[in-house]
Amino acid sequence: MRALAVDAVVAESVVTRSRFVCSLFRVGSEAAVRERIAVHRREFWEASHHCTAYVLDEGRVARSSDDGEPAGTAGLPMLEVLRGRELTDVLAIVTRYFGGVKLGSGGLVRAYGGAVSAAVEAAGVVELAVWPRLLVRVDYGVAGSLEGLLRLREDVRLAEVGFGEVVTFDLACADAELLASWVAGQSAGAAEVEPAGSVRVEL
């Protein structure tokens, strides 16, 4: 799966005097989707249509709306662009300002799908992967050097460093077994490594 490389982007196109303004957002839940759409409708109340499509939860949730356009001419082609790019946790809103000329079903499909494609190109995308999450606990004596080495590794994402009786590194890694072995070597076997599920990371 992939995600937008930015939190939000707007791209505009004009087709036979109608303006199509596509706003793309990173979103994490259907509640966030509803809030974004509601705010957008209030802000751009004078537009003819606000057609939407979104994909969540690694593609398991996907919905679209034609918002008054002929059925299947807006939301579905928008959704197909998001699916075709393998995007997740993304909301597309295409706001149309009617220019007085009807586009026909084929013209609408091309216009709405094209608006989303242009916005995705403008935003850029990043690859996503699910990596194991580990909690690594070490004494203060080796924590400083270990943290520096962890931050240099391309196969590690260090999320948080906690300071208590020992130092705890909350991290994700591409290969848990390999990293646990490496940490043991760096700490002379003194580190404690605890599996903590998995987490999605940007590559």
Instruction: Please give the residue range of the domain that contains residue 10.
Output: 2-123
pLDDT tens for residues 150-174?
999 999 999 999 999 999 999 999 9
Which of 123, 146, 181 delimits the end of a domain? Answer: 123
pLDDT band at 115 (very low <50, low <70, confident <90, very high): very high
Tell me the per-residue pLDDT of 47-62, one tens digit each, with 9 for 90 and over: 989 999 999 998 899 9
Domain check: are 10 and 59 in the same one?
Answer: yes
Q: What CATH number is given to the structural domain containing 6?
A: 3.30.230.30
Q: What is the pLDDT of residue 17?
A: 87
As a whole-number percent, the residues of the chain with pLDDT over 70 amount to: 100
pTM reported for the whole predicted model: 0.84
Query: Same domain, yes or no, for 110 and 14?
Result: yes
Of the pLDDT bands very low, low, confident and very high (cuts 50, 70, 90), residue 196 is very high
Cα torsion 12, 15, 16, 18 to 10°: value is: -50
- In this prediction, residue 36 carries a pLDDT of 96
Residue 101's pLDDT is 87
- 114 and 153 in a single domain? The answer is no
Residue 134 sits in the same domain as residue 51: no
Q: CA–CA separation, 164 vs 81, rounded Å?
A: 48
48 plus 83 within the same structural domain: yes
Residues 13 and 110 placed together within one structural domain of the fold? yes
Chosen domain end from 108, 123, 138: 123
> Over 90: is that where the pLDDT of 100 sits?
no
Report the domain count for the chain: 2
